[in-house]
Structure 1
């Protein structure tokens, strides 16, 4: 099983503040409860945070720069401690995306100027809704603005990215963190699961509240994953914004961008923003129907005034079954004493909801055996590296292939180590030899690395060796001992 702790909307309410220690203690106490629950909820293997790491600052707020710095310090302490307590400090298993609260309103406002009344476009509505429009409408001021400094406008996310780059410094990820790419990649569960973390704040600022991915981000992500030439058992997409909302609101994302993800094989979508845990299924109909289970998480830190009616602070536990085709979403909700327990009303009347998705299929409509496909590809790459003399790359290509028993892949590894004359690694690799040939190689490697006592022990135990081979190895062993005595 893969267990994911899904938290979202960490912005702290001024009316109902919650401190890190109280929050972390409540999460730990809840873990003590749910690990003994039925059905089983294992301790988290990964943590995903679907945006809004901080509250942000209102326009023209006094000391807004210092306020943002202080808020990110609180967020860093919370996330670092959460990672230490739940994942033994392994930040490669923590996935973060930005939310609308992470957008600096004051920086975006500084990049804009008010448009004089006489310069208003005649087709005002059309220019406002145009993709990549530089125009913004302020309802509070009843005025039109336009972006005049695009470089400064882009810096509205600079504090968030400074935080992200610091958080992941020296952390091994499939791709380095990139502010401009529109997505980051993470791998879990022995590289069987990939998570694409998408930025859904394109065009979001002090006057524009809708969510959107960077144009082309999903397509670029799909091409990068294609270049990885690796099959995953489960492809997860993470973003911040909701994908639906009331007609009088605009602070949600176009569902077509999620459908594009489904078309590229993403099966599970996770988001936040709406401050309530919900489940829905999205479909696209191509050569065959493909589906995505879309899961939203409630807010971990918002106050009552920021919540839908009847909803408290929440987080999710997502349990993925070993077949990577189905799972369960457990919503945990804050109750008396600031403690979390299972949500047991509405769709979650049993405390959880089962989810499923269509597994990845090949062109014939058959489920892809990802383990076999990845092994086949890895062996092909290792073979090419060996032929090109790139001996040190062979082990890396075969790192996820089972080499414990005699096979062509195991032979490739042995040949690479022999050609490198790395006798210590070869003898360690052949610790459990599979057959007479490997016994001979093991004893030979031990002799070459001057582990003569171990070589003699192995040779004496190799009763299946024929007399001539045994005598030859013994002769080489004695010759090496004589040389060492000189």
Structure 2
């Protein structure tokens, strides 16, 4: 855990982002605009309500055992209570790679981790936001989603990206229904926490979470929807899922004045090839009034700013990346 603290995982608390970046003017303006807690020993209060909004953002837990769940949840609870003096959490966001191999046993441990936190910070299911990462799809189930065929027996031309070439004459072709099942264990974990399964239909994998008391909206997206054991560098956001979600947000007047946050797993910028390369969706989020986006994957805490236009009052999104425990 000492290494985790050095990594800066406490900065996953959005309210604490300014503490690790005291000279960042974008985060300063963001904190002022939305009256977020500043992660000092005395949380910032809104003069109008006397309330603070506490959002905890975690990523890349890679939980494998119940022992880890107990140790990490206890250490986290101590730091929130004693170091930051956070009495409650308004939202907990896990931006992917919750498990390591996406097994049922790992998700049981992850559920224990959340249960432990929930006992101390009254984390009701509606306060928890979950999105999958590349470690939240099961590779064994992904392999079962492919059917081995002689190329001469395939009717038509195989669709690019939907098959794996084993040899010059043999391919593995995707069975779409079976292929979606690679997220089955994550979906079952999601149901255990949220009361309903995570949708396996990619066009439904943009989930709106509304927090009316905090005037907050969080949109959870799946950046791992095209990934499997063979195709490991196709991180992206499904355009159909995003379009449906933005239409729902636009048509619901209750969302008009909400602070809007989007969350997914993979970064837009990194040295690796597993980043999101098609960034057109971020412009759609800016136009739709989103103010912040959260992600993980790179195992270090950092911030940046995406500007949609360069005018003084131009639309922009602050990015906060969580580290890892």
The TM-score normalised by the length of structure 2 is 0.72
- Counterpart mapping for 1:44-123 below 5 A: 44-56=89-101, 68-86=103-121, 88-113=122-147
SS at match of 2:107: helix
Contact 1:194–1:232 (Cα < 8 Å) also in 2: no
For 1:5, the equivalent position in structure 2 comes to 56
Question: How far did 1:183 drift?
Answer: 1.3
* Secondary structure of 2:129 counterpart: strand
1:198-277 matched pairs, under 5 angstroms: 198-209=221-232, 210-230=234-254, 231-246=256-271, 249-252=273-276, 254-277=278-301
Equivalent residue, structure 2, for 1:34: 83
What's the CA shift for 1:142? 11
Structure (1 or 2) with the larger CA radius of gyration: 1
Q: Secondary structure at the match of 1:81?
A: helix
Structure-1 separation of matches of 2:274 and 2:171: 18
Q: Is the 8 A contact 2:266 2:296 kept in 1?
A: yes
Question: In 2, are the aligned partners of 1:114 and 1:143 still within 8 Å (CA)?
Answer: no
Secondary structure of 1:190 counterpart: helix
CA distance in 2, matches of 1:190, 1:239: 24
Secondary structure of the residue that 2:316 maps to in structure 1?
strand
2-structure distance, mates of 1:142, 1:267: 49
Provide the C-alpha distance between the structure 2 equivalents of 1:142 and 1:242, rounded to a whole number of angstroms: 35
* Structure 2 gap segments, 5+ residues each: 1-51
Give the whole-Å Cα distance in 2 for the aligned partners of 1:4 and 1:98: 19
CA 1:250–1:89 in 2, change beyond 3 Å: closer, same or farther?
Answer: closer
Q: Which residue of 2 aligns with 1:352?
A: none
Tell me which residue corresponds to 1:439: none
Post-superposition shift, 1:226?
Answer: 1.9
Q: Secondary structure at the match of 2:213?
A: coil
Question: RMSD over aligned Cα, in angstroms?
Answer: 3.2
Task: Tell me, in whole angstroms, the C-alpha distance in 1 between the residues paired with 2:124 and 2:277.
Answer: 31
Distance 1:187 1:7 in 2: 19
Classify the secondary structure of the residue corresponding to 2:308: strand
Task: Check the 8 A contact 1:259/1:282 in 2, yes or no.
Answer: no
Question: In 2 relative to 1, CA 191–291 (structure 1 residues): closer, same or farther, beyond 3 Å?
Answer: same
TM-aligned CA deviation for residue 276 of structure 1: 0.7
- CA deviation after TM superposition for structure 1 residue 159, in Å: 1.5
Residue 253 of structure 1 and its aligned partner are, at CA, apart by: 5.1
Q: TM-score, normalised by structure 1?
A: 0.50
* Match in the other structure for 2:71: 22
Change (3 A) 1:228 1:144: farther
Equivalenced residues, count: 267
CA contact (8 A) 2:180 2:200 kept: no
Q: CA deviation at 1:270?
A: 0.6
